[in-house]
Structure 1
Amino acid sequence: MDPLAGLLDGPRARGAFLLRMVMEPPWAVRVADHAPICLMSVTRDAAWIVPSEGAGPVRLEPGEVAVVRGPHPYTVADAATTEPHALVGPGGHCTTLHGEPLSQEMVLGVRTWGNAAQGSTAVLVGTYLMDGEISRRLFDALPPLLRLPAADRTGPLLRLLDTEITRDEPGQHVVLDRLLDLLLIAVLRGWFARPGAEAPAWYRAMGDPVVGVALRLLRDDPAHPWTVASLAGRAGVSRAGLARRFTELVGEPPMAYLTGWRLALAADLLRESDATVEAVGRKVGYSAPFAFSTAFKRVRGVSPQEYRGNLPERQQNLPGR
């Protein structure tokens, strides 16, 4: 499994927040939905994205794609200085800044929302509502806000998303979820392929002829009883050589990486499946429930049962649905 396959091979988009925002200036929307990640692309005119911290304002032109990494709030507007008039909260619930409902007032059609049906600005918005643990390593390596220039690899997907986003046909939510997944993967591929891109260490290490082999073995079969010696044998190097090179390139020893990967998988399984805690532990390589619970609590601070019991309910209030 390569790193981008691992990114969405678990809690993929499910009922994601997808809409076309149509606006006539002046306009500004404050987004405080606590979502883990949001993709935006302008199809008409231009828009500004103004983070609450970190990066400065970014102007988004047609064909470009912006990725905003949560959970910090940000503003989308016609100009960097326009004051927000609307607030988008968790699940896409929209109100005025004083808490008065706006969702129905600004609905312009199926998954279409804004202040003017023929507004000069149109923005495609796709927001992931589930915070998947497997993807956390990659998301944490992204800047709070990135902008990818218009590119051949994203153009066809954006045009297809623009066509599909306002359709109301059987299975349409699934179609849109998969399009959002494909767009995110295309954007991340383009981002990490840039000259001088600062990809995470483990991502870069996937291209190493020795460490890349070990990483793929660990990610493809985490339940296997791996040792440094068995990994080194499969990679065709000495035990000491693998341990040294793996730590140098990835930033942690092989077994520490394996533990983190196993527990990330376990967190997703606890979140997304009804499997028993014991079954989850076995699936990620822990034959004894006590050993799994101890390792999970050491890293997460709570037992697997407590983690599953504390998962928040995700409420969705999607315009146009």
Structure 2
Amino acid sequence: MDALAGLLEGPRAKGAFLIRACFDPPWSVRIEDRAPVSVMVMLRGEGWLIPDDGEKIHLGTNDIAVARGPEPYVCADDPATEPRAVILPDGRCTAPDGSEAKDYIDLGTRTWGGRTDGAAVMLVGTYQMQGELSSRLLDALPPQLVLRKDVWDCKLTPLLAEEIVRDEPGQEVVLDRLLDLLLIATLRAWFASPEASPPAWYLALGDPVVGVALRALQDDPAHPWTVAELAARAGVSRAALARHFTELVGEPPMAYLTGWRLALAADLLRDTALTVGAIARKAGYGSPFALSTAFKREYGVSPAEFREGRGGAGLGAGVPTGLR
């Protein structure tokens, strides 16, 4: 499982929230849902993505934006337009003063806003996962990024726009998969763009030597890997692999493996009911004691304490009440 696959493990397991937001100017919505990541497509018209700190981003028709939480931001027709609704992490959509939101309402199947044929239509997909494996990728993203229509023409957008308003058996699964595809395609395109600064491990996946070793570690972390075995797979000497791996990834192979194993263990503790012993085996540790020792060194708490607190899972994404 590579890091892009790891990013999608949460949404695939828990489901993601999709809405078609329709507005006439002036319109403005403040997002305070603390979602780990949201994807926005300006399907019609134009708008602005306005973070509390940072540069304002103009969105034209068919531009795609990604916002990384938990920092709040505003989506509006103009940076000067005051918010008329606030999306909160407890699933509420309120007016800015905390009273009931009246300017924007439920308009039908996964549709919300002022009126269905509004001048501006935005597709919004909000992920609700929170995991250690996915954080490796999310931490590499800027708080907000945008891919312009004239730079990258996403073929998934028309299909998502068509499917989001359908109400048929299994539709939630269809939409989850489409959103997964949209996100992974967007991130691939972003990391390939000149303005992006991909993390070292992401670039290293494309290396003919280090990429082989990285994929082996990620695909089977429970295997008792050695540098010698990884080097044999990559077709180089142990010294050559260790040197090249450290140069590209920023840490030696076994240090990377330890971090990957502990991240996997943290996700399994948070999202499954597996015993610590079973998690230890899946993560490549010989016993629960060995996992507990390494886990406490990395996270400062035991696996049991981490599970009890769910690793800070209270930062999940909120879904506006009544919009599902």
Q: Normalising to structure 1: TM-score of the pair? A: 0.93
Query: Structure 2: how far apart are the matches of 1:288 and 1:97?
Result: 52
- Please tell me whether the aligned partners of residues 10 and 128 of structure 2 are also in contact (alpha carbons under 8 angstroms): no
Assess, with a 3 A threshold, how the Cα gap between structure 1 residues 129 and 151 changes in structure 2: closer, same or farther: farther
Which has the larger displacement, 72-81 or 11-20? 11-20
Using the TM superposition, give the Cα deviation of residue 240 of structure 1 relative to its aligned residue in structure 2, in angstroms: 2.1
Query: Structure 1: how far apart are the matches of 2:17 and 2:271?
Result: 18
Assess, with a 3 A threshold, how the Cα gap between structure 1 residues 184 and 61 changes in structure 2: closer, same or farther: same
Equivalent in the alignment of 2:138:
139
Equivalent in the alignment of 1:209:
208
- Where do residues 161-310 of structure 1 align in structure 2 (5 Å cutoff)? 161-195=160-194, 197-310=196-309
- Secondary structure (helix, strand or coil) at the match of 2:99 reads coil
Using the TM superposition, give the Cα deviation of residue 285 of structure 1 relative to its aligned residue in structure 2, in angstroms: 0.1
Query: Structure 2: how far apart are the matches of 1:292 and 1:267?
Result: 11
Unaligned 5+ segments in structure 2 are none
Which has the larger displacement, 169-178 or 2-11? 2-11
Equivalent in the alignment of 2:323:
320
Using the TM superposition, give the Cα deviation of residue 104 of structure 1 relative to its aligned residue in structure 2, in angstroms: 10
Unaligned 5+ segments in structure 1 are none
Equivalent in the alignment of 1:57:
56
- Please tell me whether the aligned partners of residues 10 and 130 of structure 2 are also in contact (alpha carbons under 8 angstroms): no
| Matched AA of 1:111 | R
Query: Structure 1: how far apart are the matches of 2:211 and 2:116?
Result: 51
| Matched AA of 1:7 | L
Using the TM superposition, give the Cα deviation of residue 148 of structure 1 relative to its aligned residue in structure 2, in angstroms: 0.8
Assess, with a 3 A threshold, how the Cα gap between structure 1 residues 2 and 278 changes in structure 2: closer, same or farther: closer
Q: Which runs of 4+ in 1 moved over 6 A?
A: none
Using the TM superposition, give the Cα deviation of residue 167 of structure 1 relative to its aligned residue in structure 2, in angstroms: 1.8
Equivalent in the alignment of 2:27:
27
| Matched AA of 1:23 | F
Which has the larger displacement, 252-261 or 308-317? 308-317
- Please tell me whether the aligned partners of residues 49 and 57 of structure 1 are also in contact (alpha carbons under 8 angstroms): yes
Query: Structure 2: how far apart are the matches of 1:27 and 1:238?
Result: 61
- Where do residues 142-153 of structure 1 align in structure 2 (5 Å cutoff)? 142-150=141-149
Query: Structure 2: how far apart are the matches of 1:77 and 1:105?
Result: 13
Which has the larger displacement, 96-105 or 220-229? 96-105
Assess, with a 3 A threshold, how the Cα gap between structure 1 residues 196 and 59 changes in structure 2: closer, same or farther: closer
Query: Structure 2: how far apart are the matches of 1:33 and 1:317?
Result: 9
Equivalent in the alignment of 1:41:
41
Equivalent in the alignment of 1:5:
5
Assess, with a 3 A threshold, how the Cα gap between structure 1 residues 169 and 320 changes in structure 2: closer, same or farther: farther
Root-mean-square deviation (CA, aligned residues, Å) is 2.1
Using the TM superposition, give the Cα deviation of residue 290 of structure 1 relative to its aligned residue in structure 2, in angstroms: 0.7
